[in-house]
Structure 1
Amino acid sequence: MKIKGIRWWMVALVMLGLIVNYLARNTLSVAAPTMMAQMSITTEQYSHIVVAWQLCYAFMQPVAGYILDAIGTKMGFAVFALAWSAACAAAAMATGWQSLAFLRGLLGLTEAAGLPAGVKATTEWFPAKERSVAIGWFNIGSSFGALLAPPLVVWAILHSGWELAFLIVGGAGIVWSFAWLVLYKHPRDQKLLSDSERDYILAGQEDHFKDPVARKGNWKKVIGSRNFYAIASARILSEPAWQTFNAWIPLYLMTERHMNIKEIAMFAWLPFLAADVGCVLGGYLSPLFHKYCKVSLFTSRKMVMLFGCSCMIGPACIGLVDSPYMAIALLCVGGFAHQTLSGALYSITSDSFGKNEVATATGMGGMFGFLGAAAFTAVFGVLVTQVGYSPLFVVLAIFDIIAALIVWTVAREVGKKPEGTNYQATRTEQGPISAT
């Protein structure tokens, strides 16, 4: 028996993994006001906890990417998912900011494989013209996990305590890990994949993905390329915005907008819902720009990134509004903007490197991005008590705009264009959400 459009089921499986991944990291930000009060943690100490996660995540990203390229997407993703689930659950045993920082550091080390694994799975299963759409769909997991965190954590706090939230999320990760091991297979091993869909995938991939010889990924080759400099620079500048949204929105709403914990549960997830829209819309914008603006796929990715970064002007204006609901709306614009540009940047990465280099490149780019985020968070934790949140949101918008300009001017298309780049709607092998 063959399943039509099975590549979209693989995307759904990756998306579920990213949901659990981001639930684990966002559980802390929602529980932070309660935990800080119970354990006498200051704002600066909280920033140290966040930085511990970011630094460990940053330095582990290239290592995780290399491991994924070396041992494969299936086993690599499962091992890391089991490890991050255990680290998340262990946070329930934290007794102070130091122990919490240590456990969050462990979480960062293990969660680092999430996005490189997703990008690698997408390059295995999709032709180039669908890849931005596929990345947009699996990238929903990152914002949907953040969306689920506020109601889940607040429910746990009101019914038992913040410890329960970490245990629930850790358990969910363990369940997903075993589901991944059972269900995910490379296209060459997937017996449910029809010959016509396999041919469609291969025909639409770039030449550097069609090499039948599985050459080992070379990090020196990756880091020495022109496109990697553009990607790494953009990640350094753009990642601080998303990490600020993930780590600080609940505290911002409580301290600056004077919301209580129930109001946070009602509103803190909205920017991440908007981010979901950005994930999907950003994925579809690339083929639309390619078709109607008559540009290459690679240029269309850069156009999407410019569009996303321009939307970051919204949260930069947050200091100009008095209404907390208008502030939430501007944060929603920011969530939408970042996930639109983020998906485009991942697509550019997948277009620029071979099948045994893409996870390494994604991981190394992530390392630079999270080092930038860690540096910004360390400064943020000090300055936020002195100058407030509003000027820092302006800085984040400026960073994103500069990132888009760097990618636009530095990144160049690599290799031969894939065949079949004419986009016409079809429902044959692709399911209802694809375009060819």
Structure 2
Amino acid sequence: MKATKNIRWWIIATIFLATTINYIDRQALSVAAPVIREDLNLSNEQYSWIVSSFLLAYTIMQIISGRLIDVLGTKKGFSIAIVWWSIANMLHAFGSGMLSLGIFRFLLGIGEAGNYPAAMKAISEWFPKEERSKAVGIVNMGPGLGAIIAPPLLAWLIISFGWKMAFVVTGALGFFWLLLWRWIYYEPEQHPKISKEELKLIQGKKELEQTKEKLPWVHYFRYKEVWGLALARFVSDGAFYFFVFWLPSWLADEKGFSLTEIGMFAWIPFLFSDIGSFVGGWTGEKLISKGFSLNASRKWVLWVGAILVVPVLGCLYVESPYIAITLISISLFATQFKQSSLFTLPIDVFSKKDAASVWGITGSAGSFGAMLFTPIIGWLVDTISYSPVFVIVAFLHIISALLIMVFIPRIQPIFNNK
């Protein structure tokens, strides 16, 4: 069979597509929220508990799915995850109140939790460290693209066919992706279309990792690096989820946007988040190629991104919704610029055998933090306003960067020095 040049980049494009679908399905509820809340007579606090049910499942299952993917393998594990979450998303069409939507949201969280552990394991299998930040940056553009596509797509589906059909259509996307995944993904050594040159590049760059035995699961918690990564995700993930789950409601409640206007404008900040993810990954790779150490390049990207999130505070002082959208766009660019570095650290520090498990632990910490933050958002919005939420969001990423500095003073592969 004829080899395909740079097959690893075709694989990362396929994973990027899965992550895009993941976030279209995830954001379907937030775009439909103004309509569903009115149709089912739900308060902001009730809506926040529905969102939290997703995050509860996501928190629990990232640890479990990370371990399962390490055991089952990337191809099979990713396949099971996307089938599960696609069916769960379609079940939302049968939602009739807070309880049923909460249950379906919980089921969605179980399946969607497998996406990132599988993606990070694939990157650890297919990419040398010099290319990993770019690969992670590309995958991490998926949430932004999903959030770009979701508002206009969902608004059109809801206006044309009703909110229930919107969940059926978006849920069906995963089954089309599954056909592509089953065809394209194998480990490098078994891939029928990999060239000898590409296989040599991948294997030659990972000799040290191949000498490392897989850690027993409980042993991960003995490493301060795991605690640092988990705490950094715990405090920062909720900031991004605020915009994923609440931006359409904020535009409707505070700026008077109709569903049509939400479809026209709510995608713009996520376009900038996509750009930030790619630029962050590219910057990390470029700094290494210019002679920066792994430690210096990752932390430079972390701090620049964390600081550039702060201008989102300007949303509290501007009347124009378009200026506010601009400030949120800058914030989401900076968020994903930073996260392209933070998300790469588990596969920088741990071996490919441990990548999905470590990612699962840190991802669970992130979604747990977001789960705790979400009902607080609902309570603050119902009792005070969105203002304190924006203040909190502005500084969470700086705290996240500080935690990395404290727990991981020097970023380097753990199997080289422990």
TM-score, normalized by the shorter chain, greater than 0.5? yes
Q: Name the CA distance, whole Å, in 2 between partners of 1:350 and 1:316.
A: 33
Are residues 1:127 and 2:128 paired?
yes
- What are the equivalent positions in structure 2 for 1:235-314 lying under 5 Å apart? 235-292=233-290, 294-314=291-311
Question: Does the CA contact (< 8 Å) of 1:206 and 1:415 recur in 2?
Answer: no
Q: Name the CA distance, whole Å, in 1 between partners of 2:56 and 2:49.
A: 10
Deviation of residue 298 (structure 1)?
3.1
Question: Does the CA contact (< 8 Å) of 1:217 and 1:360 recur in 2?
Answer: no
Q: Name the CA distance, whole Å, in 1 between partners of 2:313 and 2:203.
A: 43
RMSD of the TM alignment (CA)?
Answer: 1.5
Q: Name the CA distance, whole Å, in 1 between partners of 2:215 and 2:23.
A: 27
Q: Partner of 2:161 in structure 1?
A: 160
Q: Partner of 2:119 in structure 1?
A: 118
Deviation of residue 333 (structure 1)?
1.2
Deviation of residue 384 (structure 1)?
1.3
Q: Name the CA distance, whole Å, in 1 between partners of 2:185 and 2:77.
A: 12
Deviations 1:311-337 (A, max 9, x none): 111212210111100110111112111
Question: Does the CA contact (< 8 Å) of 2:121 and 2:352 recur in 1?
Answer: yes
Uncovered stretches (5+) of structure 1, i.e. residues with no partner: 419-436
Q: Partner of 2:23 in structure 1?
A: 22
Are residues 1:350 and 2:347 paired?
yes
Deviation of residue 296 (structure 1)?
0.9
SS at match of 1:317: helix
- What are the equivalent positions in structure 2 for 1:60-209 lying under 5 Å apart? 60-205=61-206, 207-208=208-209
Uncovered stretches (5+) of structure 2, i.e. residues with no partner: none
Question: Does the CA contact (< 8 Å) of 2:134 and 2:278 recur in 1?
Answer: yes
Q: Which amino acid aligns with 1:351?
A: D
Question: Does the CA contact (< 8 Å) of 1:46 and 1:97 recur in 2?
Answer: yes
Question: Does the CA contact (< 8 Å) of 2:349 and 2:414 recur in 1?
Answer: no
Q: 2:388 aligns with which of 391, 413, 418?
A: 391
Deviation of residue 206 (structure 1)?
6.3
Change over 3 Å in CA distance of 1:317–1:284 after alignment to 2 = same
The range that moved more, 50-59 or 312-321, is 312-321
Q: Partner of 1:413 in structure 2?
A: 411
Q: Which amino acid aligns with 1:37?
A: E
Change over 3 Å in CA distance of 1:4–1:318 after alignment to 2 = same
SS at match of 1:259: coil
TM-score (ref. length: structure 1) = 0.92
- What are the equivalent positions in structure 2 for 1:326-337 lying under 5 Å apart? 326-337=323-334
Question: Does the CA contact (< 8 Å) of 1:311 and 1:337 recur in 2?
Answer: yes
Percent of aligned positions that are identical: 36
Q: Name the CA distance, whole Å, in 2 between partners of 1:57 and 1:234.
A: 17
Q: Which amino acid aligns with 1:338?
A: T
Q: Name the CA distance, whole Å, in 2 between partners of 1:237 and 1:193.
A: 40
Deviation of residue 374 (structure 1)?
0.8
SS at match of 1:355: coil
Deviation of residue 340 (structure 1)?
1.3
Q: Which amino acid aligns with 2:203?
A: L
Q: Partner of 1:36 in structure 2?
A: 37
Q: Across the two proteins, how many residue pairs are aligned to each other? A: 414
Question: Does the CA contact (< 8 Å) of 2:247 and 2:266 recur in 1?
Answer: yes
Deviations 1:20-69 (A, max 9, x none): 11111000000000011111111110000000001110111000000000
State the 4+ residue runs in structure 1 displaced beyond 4 angstroms: none
Q: Which amino acid aligns with 2:138?
A: W
Bigger helix fraction: 2
Deviations 1:170-196 (A, max 9, x none): 111112123211221111111211111
Question: Does the CA contact (< 8 Å) of 1:68 and 1:77 recur in 2?
Answer: yes
SS at match of 1:188: helix
Question: Does the CA contact (< 8 Å) of 1:306 and 1:404 recur in 2?
Answer: yes
Q: 1:228 aligns with which of 222, 226, 247?
A: 226
Deviation of residue 165 (structure 1)?
1.2
Change over 3 Å in CA distance of 1:395–1:13 after alignment to 2 = same
Deviations 1:277-330 (A, max 9, x none): 0110000111222344x4312321121111111111121221011110011011
Q: Which amino acid aligns with 1:43?
A: N
Q: Name the CA distance, whole Å, in 2 between partners of 1:151 and 1:259.
A: 14
- What are the equivalent positions in structure 2 for 1:358-373 lying under 5 Å apart? 358-373=355-370
Q: Partner of 2:377 in structure 1?
A: 380
Question: Does the CA contact (< 8 Å) of 1:218 and 1:357 recur in 2?
Answer: no
Question: Does the CA contact (< 8 Å) of 2:351 and 2:415 recur in 1?
Answer: no
Q: Which amino acid aligns with 2:121?
A: K
Q: Which amino acid aligns with 1:11?
A: I
SS at match of 2:343: helix
Q: Partner of 2:6 in structure 1?
A: 5
Deviation of residue 216 (structure 1)?
4.3
Question: Does the CA contact (< 8 Å) of 1:144 and 1:272 recur in 2?
Answer: yes
SS at match of 2:189: coil
Change over 3 Å in CA distance of 1:415–1:137 after alignment to 2 = closer
Deviation of residue 121 (structure 1)?
0.7
Change over 3 Å in CA distance of 1:80–1:416 after alignment to 2 = closer
